[in-house]
Structure 1
């Protein structure tokens, strides 16, 4: 509710009148999803940096994605979409990973392209993990909201 109040206050008066409570609620969910995504980005990036020497940039990118996706699922379950979704946790986690495959493809495609063709991104993978996270965020929010946490 706090995020919804802040969002409503940030809107110009002309938009405030047309902002329905339902739209504000979705916007607040998106903000929470984005905050969780920032945590996931930190996990993703830290895992890439920690494992790139052993696994190479591509292997580290895959391992890091699954680590970050698992943390994101847990935080989205308890923070973003609290009280929504049902069934056993392991099924919901598997559904989260499955339904977010398109976001995964977008995320890791951007990551792979950047570390392959941009020497700066290969030297500083945070560039590639950040760009990948942004590329997959909107798709992942939509499928998480509509399919995993309904």
Structure 2
């Protein structure tokens, strides 16, 4: 339960990064909400990786920083695919999400949570026996 709670806290920080960047880019620069989301995901995933490696899944490391970060981004891409599908559907079909893409990020984040936690716990930060 501790890991789930900490993963949620890290995910909340990631959401703030993700939603903040995409909302800033769309509102301030009239940026494409789909392309903006790719940049915001990269920033958010890096932030959650830093949080999760320090607090949620602390322990022995089996990869260097770059190796762990790249595996983490790869693992999070499954959750991002779910997240981005929901996000894109909302942005495409609703004017509210077009004006406030941060809301669509929030809904999409719920969909990607299970995939991301499973990938983190079972692959990136798993404890090896022996």
In the superposition, the TM-score normalised over structure 1's length comes to: 0.79
Higher relative contact order (CA 8 A, sep 6+): 2
Structure 2: runs of 5+ lacking an equivalent: none
Residue-by-residue CA offset, 1:41-70 (whole Å, 9 max, x unaligned): 000011002222253111111110111001
> Aligned residues, how many?
124
Residue-by-residue CA offset, 1:121-145 (whole Å, 9 max, x unaligned): 1111121010111110011000100
Which of 64, 67, 73 does residue 88 from structure 1 map onto? 64
Which of 29, 41, 48 does residue 22 from structure 2 map onto? 48
In the superposition, the TM-score normalised over structure 2's length comes to: 0.91
RMSD, aligned α-carbons: 1.1
Which structure is larger by alpha-carbon Rg, 1 or 2? 1
Give the aligned partner of residue 37 of structure 1. Answer: 11
Give the aligned partner of residue 49 of structure 2. Answer: 73
User: Contact (CA 8 Å) 1:40, 1:69: kept in 2 or not?
Assistant: yes
User: Which of structure 1's runs of 4+ aligned residues deviate more than 3 A?
Assistant: none
